[in-house]
Amino acid sequence: MRPVNAVITKVVEEAPNIRTFFFDTSFKLIPGQFVMVWIRGIDEVPMAFSYDNAITVQKVGPATSALFELDECDSIGIRGPFGKGFDIKTGHLILVAGGVGAAPLAPLAENAAMSGAKITALLGAKTKDELLFRERFEAVGEVRIATDDGSEGKQGYVTQLLEDEKNYDQIYCCGPEIMMKKVLDKVTPSKSQFSLHRYIKCGLGICGACCVDGLRVCKDGPVFSGDVLKKTEFGVYRRNECGERVKI
């Protein structure tokens, strides 16, 4: 498919470097699936959907900075959805979000709660201001918080909050790979799902740029079950744009 023209209808400042961009067009995504967001003339980058019609973006480099220059009535190109989303279970679900990793987990929480699941969200961020979608998670379940600077909740990593969680039916996790690796090491692999981040080029499962061993993040993922990841290079190294191995 060619990029669909999406006009920005509203921009919401979520945190110092995080904004949500609402569009005039909705996309049907399973939480965890992603789209390719084309900032014309600049770059095209993968993004989760945080609402039916919105992405939530952390400014980290050229593409996201260019996106931050855009305002209502500006438009971008969107292709997708791509990949496989989270497999949404019932029972007690624990969501572990690091930073902007909360983007795909918020709609997941809302969907799952609607089907009667019990939700516990563990949110981590550097500081209180950067906690994302806290109210959305609170609206559908329990929220526990960890911040690096202790400005809210427990001081330290979000992974520490996991220690108290013994009874769960499924763990959903999205955040920096190093954090996700720590989560994987602490939980029952077959009861956990992780949304991975790799450099996405084609998004179509063809070029192989996004491979974690033989698994394509863009097509077989970005969501993988913990037991699948256990046998791979996940958490050990990733590939840069050239395909060179880079230590995590």
Partner 1 sequence: MLSLSLTGLKLKNPLILAAGIMGTTGGSLKRATEGGAGGVVTKSIGVEPKSGHSNPSMVEVDCGYMNAMGLPNPSYKNFQKEIDLARECGVPVIASIFGANADEFSEIAGTLHADAFELNVSCPHACGYGAQVGSDPALVEEITKSVKSATTAPVWVKLTPNVTDIKSIGLAAQRGGADAVVAINTVRAMAIDIESGYPILGNKFGGLSGKAIKPIAIKCVYDLYEALQIPVIGVGGISDWKDAVEFMMAGARAVQIGSAVGNNINIFNDISSCMEAFLEDKVWTLDDLYGMAHKK
Ligand X SMILES: Cc1cc2nc3c(=O)[nH]c(=O)nc-3n(C[C@H](O)[C@H](O)[C@H](O)COP(=O)(O)OP(=O)(O)OC[C@H]3O[C@@H](n4cnc5c(N)ncnc54)[C@H](O)[C@@H]3O)c2cc1C
The contact set with ligand FMN (CB under 6 A) reads 202, 206-207
Q: How far apart are CA 75 and CA 99, in angstroms?
A: 26
Amino acid at 2: R
Q: List, in sequence order, every residue forming a beta bridge with 21; answer none if it has no partner.
A: 11, 55
Between residue 63 and residue 82, which ones bind partner 1 under the rule CB under 8 A?
A: 75, 77, 79
Per CB under 8 A, the list member of 36, 125, 143, 171 interacting with partner 1 is 36
CB 77 within 8 A of CB 35: no
| Contact call for residue 103 and ligand FES (CB under 6 A) | no
Of 19, 11, 137, nearest in space to 75 by CA:
11
Least distance between ligand FMN and beta carbon 80 (Å): 18
Q: Say which residues have a Cβ less than 8 Å from residue 146's Cβ, sequence separation at least 6.
A: 122, 123, 124, 153, 154, 155, 156, 157, 158, 160, 161
Between residue 4 and residue 63, which ones bind ligand X under the rule CB under 6 A?
A: 34, 43, 45-48, 55-58, 60-63
Token representation of residue 239: 């590939």
Indicate the helix (H) or strand (E) that contains 142.
strand 142-147
Q: List, in sequence order, every residue forming a beta bridge with 123; answer none if it has no partner.
A: 97, 145
Between residue 85 and residue 104, which ones bind ligand X under the rule CB under 6 A?
A: 100, 103
Stretch that binds partner 1, among 83-91, 108-116, 120-128, 213-221 (CB under 8 A): 213-221
Per CB under 8 A, the list member of 204, 227, 236, 248 interacting with partner 1 is 204
Interacting residues toward ligand FES by CB under 6 A: 200-203, 205-210, 216, 218-219
Chain positions contacting ligand X, by CB under 6 A: 34, 43, 45-48, 55-58, 60-64, 100, 103, 197-200, 222
